[in-house]
Amino acid sequence: MADYGTDLSCTTDLDPLGRLVSGDELMVQVCVRRLYCASGALLSDPTDNSIDVRDLISADIGPNDIVRIQGLCSQALLGDPRILSANVIATFSAGTLTLRITAYGANGPFSLTLAVTALTVTLLTPT
């Protein structure tokens, strides 16, 4: 098994108990942060590629926008060298962008689903 490292638990905010995470749980959290932090806002590397998907929400998201969003999200996820490939399926309904992500690391696949509104990014289903 590859060692992804260990970090403080953090999706959209630090875990108040300071819990440590590793393995697939860490990688799911890495994905959330890469899609929650604006470009240049990742504390681990401000020069790294990330995207705040909340900025992509508008009332008139169409099919071309969905394809563009999927590409932007995949690019941001692939900015982490531990992520070898990432498939993002995006859907938009009633003001919520749903991102179903399957990514592959050295230990194999892991998945997560995010619900994104103009104000929030919520992790619905980790691994």
DSSP assignment string, 75-91? HHHHTSTT--EEEEEEE
Query: How many helices and strands in the chain, by DSSP H and E?
Result: 2, 6
- Averaged pLDDT, groups of 10, the chain, 127 residues long: 88 90 94 85 68 88 93 95 96 94 95 95 82
Residue 84 confidence (pLDDT): 96
CA dist 73 and 125 (Å) reads 17
Q: How far apart are the C-alpha atoms of 23 and 92, rounded to whole Å?
A: 30
DSSP state letters, 33-54: HHHHSPTT--TT-TTS----GG
* pLDDT for res 109: 95
Q: Please give the model's pTM, rounded to 2 decimal places.
A: 0.90
Helix (H, G, I), strand (E, B) or coil at 23: helix
What pLDDT shows up at residue 43? 61
Specify the CATH class of 6-126 in words: alpha beta
Counting every residue written for the chain, the total comes to: 127
* Residue 70: its H or E element: helix 63-78
101-114: b (≥16 Cβ within 10 Å) or e: bebebeeeebebeb
